[in-house]
């Protein structure tokens, strides 16, 4: 990994040889597209679009990956080539992984009853990149999802296999030493993070129909209008749902800790840490109040202080 340039060029050539090879072949969705899963998704996301209910319902386009997921089991269609690629990166010191982004295309809507098949290909393996997390290689897979043999969606998923820049030297318990991961900021959500830097929690508001939405999106789910402005959240909310993280540990985190799906007073929901109360005292319906915490010189995040009665 840290050898002469020609050695790394040879290694990168080995990585490039995996481009175009199958990552998953002849995959079959565990279940047909179905109304119960669509309902659960819409309830969790707070999406009330009428397009997802009734006799002519379609599945929300962003559910595309849901129909190919395997749960906690290893998919039988995953290929040896993909496992070999990941093992080669692991053995070369790039043994940490983080998902970085995904891109989706929707040639046609999915409807309840559609039977899903899919195939994945290793689309690209980048050269060595230096990131704040550490040096590594981006691996992009492309999954083509079909319904009745017709292309219904394309899902590109990108991970970074990297060597952490700050590996803990002391394995004994103690304060977290790695920096907290940074949020992925893009053209669609940059305004949200600019607001956070000013200690403002901004919610998008469609200027067409007035609906509020979160997380930030380029267009309105209700009416399709691409124009929007923002309103500042009051900061009051309740715990709609939550999980307690025990494993795996993440950089700069000390499990166990509570992560909540917070329903704001404005009606939208946001995922964030619940702080100020013991993790085992967090409850659904608990009132919370927004606060902004600085984690280092460059990172401020919105969290929610539990309010005990």
The C-alpha atoms of residue 174 and residue 194 are separated, in whole angstroms, by: 33
The tens place of each residue's pLDDT in the chain, 309 residues long, gives: 445 556 678 999 999 999 999 998 888 998 999 999 999 999 888 888 999 999 999 999 999 999 998 776 656 678 899 999 999 999 999 998 988 889 999 999 999 999 999 999 999 999 999 988 889 999 999 999 999 999 999 999 999 999 987 655 444 455 545 678 888 898 899 999 999 999 999 999 999 999 999 999 999 988 889 999 999 999 999 999 999 988 666 767 788 999 999 999 999 999 999 999 999 999 999 999 999 999 888 899 999 999 876
First to last CA, the chain: 55
Contact partners, residue 56, CB within 8 Å, separation at least 6: none
52 DSSP assignment: G
Instruction: Find, among 18, 63, 10, 6, the residue nearest to 161 by Cα.
Output: 18
Q: Which pair of structure tokens corresponds to residue 88?
A: 């080669």
Look up residue 209 and give its DSSP letter: T
Measured distance CA(183)–CA(179) in Å, rounded: 12
Is the pTM higher than 0.85? The answer reads no
């Amino acid at each position: 990994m840290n050898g002469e340039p020609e050695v790394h060029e040879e290694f990168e050539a080995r990585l490039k040889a995996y481009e175009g090879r199958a990552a998953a072949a002849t995959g079959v969705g565990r279940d047909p597209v179905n109304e119960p899963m669509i309902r659960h998704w819409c309830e969790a996301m707070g999406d009330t679009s009428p397009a997802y209910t009734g006799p002519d319902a379609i599945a929300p386009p962003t559910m595309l990956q849901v129909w190919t997921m395997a749960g906690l089991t290893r998919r039988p269609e995953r290929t040896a080539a993909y496992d070999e690629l990941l093992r080669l990166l692991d053995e070369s010191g790039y043994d940490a992984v983080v998902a970085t982004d995904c891109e989706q295309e929707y040639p046609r809507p999915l409807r309840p009853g559609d039977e899903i098949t899919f195939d994945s290909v290793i689309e690209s393996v980048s050269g060595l990149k230096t990131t704040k997390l550490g040096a590594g290689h981006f691996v992009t897979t492309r999954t083509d999802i079909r319904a009745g043999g017709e292309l219904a969606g394309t899902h590109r998923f990108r991970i970074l296999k990297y060597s952490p820049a700050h590996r803990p030297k002391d394995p004994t318990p103690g304060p977290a030493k790695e920096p907290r991961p940074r949020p992925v900021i893009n053209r669609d959500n940059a305004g949200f993070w600019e607001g956070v830097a000013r200690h403002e929690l901004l919610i998008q508001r469609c200027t067409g129909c007035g609906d509020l939405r979160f997380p930030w999106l380029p267009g309105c789910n209700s009416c399709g209008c691409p124009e929007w402005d923002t309103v500042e959240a009051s900061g009051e909310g309740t715990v709609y749902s939550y999980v307690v993280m025990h494993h795996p540990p993440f950089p700069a985190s000390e499990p166990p800790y509570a992560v909540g799906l917070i329903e704001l007073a404005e009606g939208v929901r946001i995922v964030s840490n619940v702080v100020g109360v013991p993790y085992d005292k967090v409850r659904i319906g608990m009132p919370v109040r927004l606060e902004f915490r600085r984690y280092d010189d460059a990172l401020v995040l919105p969290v929610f202080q539990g309010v005990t009665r």
